[in-house]
């Protein structure tokens, strides 16, 4: 398989793993109530409106760390001269996942704006941290 494709895939997996770690921390600190019907959009809107700001900030931090890690890993694996591009592709793929998340789960406007605007710049920053 092409090394560029591997770089993007492993970058995305690394970013998702980083996000899962932060989500796990968030759930430990701010557990969801027993019996919460996550399939009911009205229930989720009410729940998210009442979630503490710390929980919301952890979600945003998860998105940001995932983009940075994806960019870093993709750039480290990518062939010479393509690290930044592969990092941005990995960040773009995570951004598509973020868009799906925002569509499926109601979020405050400030979270949606930060979520959508951070993926590419932080993936690029990850590539810079990798030195590529």
| pLDDT one-digit tens code per residue, 59-117 | 999 999 999 999 999 999 999 999 999 999 999 999 999 999 888 888 899 999 998 99
Sequence-distant (≥ 6) Cβ neighbours of residue 30 within 8 angstroms: 51, 52, 54, 55, 58
pTM of the model: 0.90
Tally of CB atoms within 10 A around 72: 27
For residue 34, count CB atoms less than 10 angstroms from its CB and return exposed for 0-12, middle for 13-18, buried for 19 or more: exposed
**pLDDT score at 37:** 86
Q: How far apart are CA 66 and CA 47, in angstroms?
A: 24
> What residue has token string 């557990």?
31
User: In this predicted model, which residue has the larger pLDDT, 33 or 64?
Assistant: 64
DSSP 38: T
Q: Residue 1: which pLDDT band, with cuts at 50, 70 and 90? A: low
Q: Where are the domains of the chain?
A: 3-129
Name the more confident of 33 and 7.
7
Q: Alpha carbon of 85 to those of 45, 62, 78: distances in Å?
A: 37, 22, 9
Identify the sign of the CA torsion 127, 18, 8, 64: negative
* Count of alpha carbons within 13 angstroms of residue 6, beta-carbon side: 7
Mean pLDDT on 36-45: 84
């Amino acid at each position: 398989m092409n090394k560029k494709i591997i770089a993007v895939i492993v970058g995305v997996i690394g970013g998702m793993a980083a996000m899962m770690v932060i989500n796990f921390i968030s759930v430990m600190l701010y557990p969801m109530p027993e019996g919460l019907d996550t399939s009911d959009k009205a229930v989720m809107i009410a729940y998210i409106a009442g979630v503490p700001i710390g929980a919301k900030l952890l979600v945003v931090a998860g998105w940001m760390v995932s983009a940075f890690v994806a960019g870093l890993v993709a750039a480290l694996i990518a062939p010479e001269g393509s690290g930044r591009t592969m990092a941005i592709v990995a960040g773009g793929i995570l951004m598509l996942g973020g868009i799906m998340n925002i569509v499926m789960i109601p979020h405050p406007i400030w979270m949606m704006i930060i979520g959508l605007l951070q993926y590419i710049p932080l993936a690029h920053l990850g590539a810079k941290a990798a030195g590529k």
